[in-house]
Amino acid sequence: MRKPIIAGNWKMNNTIRESKALVTELLPLIKDANCDVVLCVPFTDIKSVVSLTKGSIIKVGAQNVHFAENGAYTGEISATMLKELKVNYCIIGHSERRQYFGETDETVNKKIAACLKYKIKPIVCIGETLQQRESNQTKDILKNQIIEGFKGYKSKDFEKIIIAYEPIWAIGTGKTATAQDANSTIKHIREVLKKYFGLSISQKTRIQYGGSMNAKNAFELMSMPEIDGGLIGGASLKAQDFSKVVNYDKK
C-alpha cells in the first residue's frame, strides 16, 4: 500500500511572522491525519517552521535547490544547506520554475541526485500546458519528462522519490481535471514507469495530483486508485482550508 502524502506549496508567500501564525493554527487541526503531511515553505521560513513542527506529524520541505554543493551561484541554496536546516523534502521542477527560471529535465535530473545524496526526498513535478493538452501531446510530454528527468535512477532511488503530476493549465486557474481524467493520466505515468524502470517502481512510487486540489474536491480526487496525494498551492495558505484537504478521509 502506498501511503498518501499531502504537501502544501506556499510559493512566495508568508513572512516568518505569518508562517508562525499559520502553523500554530494548523497543528491541532491535522494532528490525527492518516497521511504524510509536508509544508514546502520559502527559504526564509524554513528555520521557524522546522522549530514549530518539531515532534508533530508535519515534515518541512523546500521549494527549490541547486544541484551543486557550493560555488559561485549567487542567490542559490544547496542540498547541504537544506540538510543542516533539517529539511526533509524538496520540490523539484515545478512548472513555475520551468517557465520563469529556465528549469529543464536535465537540471531536474541533477537536482534529484543532490537531494538523494543528503537524504532529502524529492517531489518531482511533471505536467503539460493547455496548448500541449489540446494538441493531444500530454502522453508524449509526460513520457519525455519521465525518461529524461529520471535517467540513471534505480529502484532504491525511487523509494525516496515522489512524483507530482501538475497539469500546468490547472495551476492557480481554478480549473481542475476531473477525478477520472487525473486518475487516467496518472495511470499513464505508471505505465511509463513500468516500461522504462520496471513493474516494482511503477507500483510503489507515490504520485500526487497537483492541479488546484482543494477542500471541495480532495475527497473525490483522493478516492481514485492511482492518486496518492496532492501538491497543494492556494489551499495550503489557510490553515482551515489545508486541514480539510489533509483530513479528506474524515469527510
Q: Are strands 89-92 and 121-126 parallel, antiparallel or unpaired?
A: parallel
- Catalytic residue flag (residue 66): no
**Structural contact between residues 40 and 125, judged by C-beta atoms closer than 8 angstroms:** no
CA distance 239 to 171: 20
CA distance 94 to 126: 7
Alpha carbon of residue 158 to chain centroid:
14
Q: At residue 135, what is the residue type?
A: S
Out of 66, 94, 96, 103, the active site residue is 94
Count of Cβ atoms closer than 10 Å to residue 249 Cβ: 13
Out of 66, 134, 166, 226, the active site residue is 166
- Catalytic residue flag (residue 94): yes
- Residues with a catalytic annotation lie at 94, 166
